[in-house]
Amino acid sequence: MSLPNASADTGHDGPMLSTRLISAGILAPVVVVVALLGEPWLSLVIGLFIFLALVELIALLDAGGFEPPQVLAMATGIVVAGAGLVAANQARVGGALADLLRSTEPPGLPVVVYAAALVVLGIAGFTRADPRNGFLTWAITSFGIAWVGLLAPFIAVVAHLGPAGGSAGTPVGQLGLASGSAWMLLLLAVVWGYDTGAFLTGRWLGRRRLIDHISPSKTVEGLAGGLIVATLAAGLGAWLVGLEAWQPLVIGPLVGLAAQAGDLAESMVKRAADRKDSGFLVPGHGGILDRIDSFLFAAPILAAYALLTTRFTL
């Protein structure tokens, strides 16, 4: 879901930058339209992105020498992510799915499914001749499934936030947008704002490396610029949602830092695999995992903030 990106704060050649801008100019409006349309289109697109991100992640883990059981990892990842999307859409589902949601509370359908995935992946580790290799494969594959399969559905959770006594479709804010769409636009604005601010500031002013051993292109100046733009973007998003004027001062830095952490987390995986990008599906931007990495941390943080500190609920 992320198009502008600060993955290289300190410079791009002209053709590459032009390709990135063209891709962003085409895809960003599509993402915004999906956010405005809401369900079921949002979850369908998120599900597609999760599928593609899992393919890329499994390839990265394999390139890093972790030898994930590819078919099993893909299957468990899809099932875990599907459980998360069903849970996010619990107000819309009925029949057997609704019964399944009720029967697994607590701890919740995604947790139950992920626990089952841990068991299955653990048993698969028994087949490795070297116990250390089997344990490492089990641990790393389980981590990857949790990283993408459990965290990505929180993007849909954000899009299901509604005011107390209302729903995700309740009009909010100055434009009267549906609450879920307004929250989704807030998430997009802050993450894209951070990425763009970090990229431009790092490109123009970047001098001091942020975390050189993970991502040499990240700079302290890029981080600062990204947080400033993220806070301004949060102001626009808060206006759309109808939040108090002080809220962007918390949301911007909080979600911006989470977005940067998500990007660094993927950079760490790519460095372990000795890869520059997770894939090649988005010209100038890399793969799908490269595009949603910031959201994997930012969406849960924003959802938790909204549920704990505002009048909005699921």
* Distance (Å) of CA 227 to CA 166, 248, 291: 32, 11, 19
Convert the pLDDT of each residue in 276-305 to its tens digit.
Answer: 889 888 776 789 999 999 999 999 999 999
DSSP letter string over 68-133? --HHHHHHHHHHHHHHHHHHHTTTT--HHHHHHHHHTTTT-HHHHHHHHHHHHHHHHHTT-SSHHH
Whole-prediction pTM value? 0.91
List the domain boundaries for the chain: 1-38+162-314, 39-158
> What was the pLDDT predicted at 176?
96
pLDDT digits (tens, 9 = 90+) for 28-83: 899 999 999 999 999 999 999 999 999 999 999 999 999 999 999 999 999 999 99
Cα 20 to Cα 71: distance, rounded to the nearest angstrom: 32
